[in-house]
A = this chain, B = another copy of it.
Amino acid sequence: MGKSEIRYAAKVDLEKDAASQPQLHNRWHPDIPSAGKIADGEVVKIECVDWTGGQIKNDDSADDVKNVDLTKIHYLSGPFEIENAEPGDVLVVEIQDVQPLQDQPWGFTGIFAKENGGGFLDELYPDASKAIWDFEGIFCSSRHIPHVRFPGLIHPGILGCAPSAEILAEWNRREGQLISECSHMARDVAQPPNPTNVHAGAADDTLTKRVGEEGARTIPGRPEHGGNCDIKNLSRGSKVYLPVHVPGAKFSVGDLHFSQGDGEISFCGAIEMAGVITIKFSVMKDGVNHLSLKSPIYIPGAVEPNFGPGRHIYFEGFSVDSEGKQHYLDTTVAYRQTVLRCIEYLRRYGYSDQQIYLLLSCAPVQGHIAGIVDIPNACTTLGLPIDIFDFDIRPEAAIQKLDMGACAVASK
């Protein structure tokens, strides 16, 4: 015996264009060629680029965020063929570690411009902004949002197995129907397949063209396979149970987050990074039947940050919007109100609303559905950890005047 480093199933080159790297792809499609084989029971490391493929820079301007090309995202690593995996099986994915790339110890959080991506509060905050986060071991801090610092609840935003052709068709059908039904809305409600900037891994031109025409965008998570579920707790030690839809499972992963809050509200809301994930793969034969599994399930690891329940301030919100209009059990409206209550609270310390919006997107805030049956009001809560601040934010504490600087903004 002796030395035996864990095998890399994929590496990335940050100096090269993501679109030129065959182990990456940016659409969901069953026919994207395999990026490699992984044995049942094997542990591998997989490197990932950030979700934009390097479009966002470590600087103090948000012009890159404003002008981000969303036809390119998300660049995922894979798809990997898993030995023994057949449709009807469950692929058990144990996330054994996630780390930033050693030579790129930083990440970014962005508020996307309302006209290019938007986010949960884009009616209020339509302009692009950005915060760069520096990593120091398990901690991160930002020159753009002073006086906060926290350990990352590091995780992949996206993981899942490829859809079958049938599932892909269903996705396109139902999302297309939504788009047509919502044509009166002044905003995108979904993204149909888009051939622009499609990257189908090692596919030839013919296949790439077809993937561009048929392939589902990676933006939404979807019930059949998970995908971009953006669950902040899929961190080190978690096990995820994924339905398999095609032979070999064709597993992909990407959109690594150093940290994220529940809701990932600013859309580019996590601390987005390039990194490496260590995964153990195993196949549960006939698992879909055994587990009655329609959507992924998961079991978190034992090593999440534990601030203590009493070290959070919780904000409450209800489904009455800012104009005083009553909505019927609308949890989305309630959560927006909840977030606004927290912004109003933190604004007292001198932070700009954009800084807070960025912070609540990426810090490990807890977003709970409290009550969802007391007509007409849904009630949600947002738990803000007290100890991520280096000053005392508790209600009883005096309000200190601190220099809160500014987040990166876009030129007009």
Contact = CB atoms under 8 A, between A and B. Distances in A.
A236 B265 CA distance: 28
A171 to B, nearest CB: 9
A233 B309 CA distance: 9
Interface in A260-306: 262-267, 269, 278, 280, 284, 287, 290-306
Nearest to A102: B5
A391 to B, nearest CB: 11
Contacts of A22: none
Contacts of A5: 102-105
Contact of A373 (B92, B264, B292, B317): B264
Interface centre among A139, A366, A371 (most CB of B within 10 A): A371
Nearest to A287: B395
Contacts of A296: 316
A151 B226 CA distance: 26
Interface centre among A92, A296, A369 (most CB of B within 10 A): A369
A290 B312 CA distance: 19
Contact of A325 (B174, B262, B379): B174
Contacts of A104: 3, 5
Contacts of A335: 331, 369, 372
A133 B57 CA distance: 40
Interface in A291-350: 291-318, 320, 324-332, 335, 337, 341, 344-345, 347-348
A330 B328 contact: no
Interface of A: 1-6, 43, 57-59, 90, 92, 95-97, 102-106, 119-120, 132, 136-139, 151, 170, 174-175, 177-178, 182, 188-191, 219-223, 226, 228-233, 236-237, 241, 262-267, 269, 278, 280, 284, 287, 290-318, 320, 324-332, 335, 337, 341, 344-345, 347-348, 366-381, 383, 387, 392, 394-396, 399
